[in-house]
Amino acid sequence: MYTNDTDNTDTKSKTLLYADLTFAIRGILYSVHNELGSYAREKQYGDVAAKLFKEKGIKYVREQRVGDLGNILDFIVEDKVALEFKAKRILTKEDYYQIQRYLQESGLKLGILVNFRDKLIKPKRIVRIDNWQK
């Protein structure tokens, strides 16, 4: 659906990875937060996000198992972006490590980590580190 997205094979490029798609995803995340507020459960945020993805015609897979360890990624959007939801007081470095592991195991280049518990959400773009060891 988003044919203007770039694969960003040039590492010196100043453009964002999948800019149009991530703009649409961020809009949906803000809509989800506006609808449910800060104190719903991750599954409820996922249900509303899935409904909005479907309404906007954005292809997604929900609760996708990645890797051999049984890790489950909340969403894979357009086979390009990993999307991980949290509903906790504060994000920790383990949350960032978790999505980086998901990116490594799935082969995806970009992930978005969002904590819906915040009063104002700030979706974080996480780019796969090719030589990452954790």
Q: For residue range 14-54, what is the model confidence (pLDDT) as tens digits? A: 789 999 999 999 999 999 999 999 999 999 999 999 999 99
pLDDT at residue 3 tops 50: no
Q: Which two tokens stand for residue 7?
A: 């694969």
d(CA 61, CA 78): 8
CB atoms within 10 A of CB 31: 15
pLDDT tens per residue, range 50-100:
999 999 999 999 999 998 888 999 999 999 999 999 999 999 999 999 999
pTM equals 0.86
Res 43: pLDDT: 96
- CATH number of 19-127, picked from 3.30.460.10, 3.10.580.10, 3.90.320.10, 3.40.640.10: 3.90.320.10
Element spanning 97, H or E: helix 93-106
